[in-house]
A and B are shown apart, each in its own frame.
Chain A
């Protein structure tokens, strides 16, 4: 029980700090937001009125509390550019980013895990060389450049997938899969490298354990030891990388969405910066960070549920 309470306190304090960081960064912004919204030739009375409406006449502490109160009640403010509630804009964009993240995570795990297990079992010189080549390249290639290569290969040369754009799930599910496949793959390939590397290390660690020697001396065949003994223990730490992968995927999708002109959160984020729509940027940054913190929290909890041996590091 102490474990859960401590983790919960950590979770909440991290959330508070994330929101404070986000708030503070946008506080040091040069220029007067009211002036930016109303334009250069607004009269001082209008600006003063908007100051009051936006709460700019109050102290930073008060404004932070107001902002948090509004955010918690689901009021994310209004976009300067679209003149619409930020919450609505986010809800429109969220399905795209979420599908992309889940799709690529699915690809990473479905292809990466079996591949990792298969590779971890071979110890040949050539295969381990190829493996380290692939994993090193996988973490070194910029995922958005990988996206270019995939477009050149699969869209331009083989004409299998659209080069850019998004088809929504409701209009055409098959089209949605087709439009998400290449971006997901671009995000998943670095993920493969991470999964394979990690899996190989944990499986090798496990295979040196005493219980494996015991199993072997009992005369069990290697395949049985692998699947019934090593994998069972070796897969638990893999949950940790799922949390890591989700954060990576969300971070990577900011750039990759822009390569494929997918109308997701990353795309909106970058175009909002161009348009100086900073309330929108602030909310989106907080939103993504909160998702990452929450996922890490859930992963921590799951980890403990699956493996009760885990204790607080102290």
Chain B
């Protein structure tokens, strides 16, 4: 299940849905990203996320199918919020089920790493000088590069 949405999501509902759909899987791993209330230059009053309607959804689907090529997975849920989001609010949810924990942990991390470097989403932060576009970080690309030579590890 993929969703790009303005509204918030209920983490408990998402976990429950994964658990209900798990069908014999022994592991559920979830990741929830929150808006930080600080960055390197000081406090952040919130963020605004722009997306490319259509392509953002397609890229999330593609990321999930790339994960399925590498690990044997049951259910995958990815939710990304867009628009204006306040400090400490939820931005992104990734939940994965699998027979065993290792695949679920790795796939969850792979999906968020891949999302951060390839899904068309752009973040602005509210600073004391107004809204500022966030620059991409080389550490995000390095996190993604670690997965470059991984194929079907399950």
Q: Answer yes or no: do A and B interact.
A: no
Task: Give me the interface of A with B, judged by CB distance under 8 Å.
Answer: none
Task: Give me the interface of B with A, judged by CB distance under 8 Å.
Answer: none
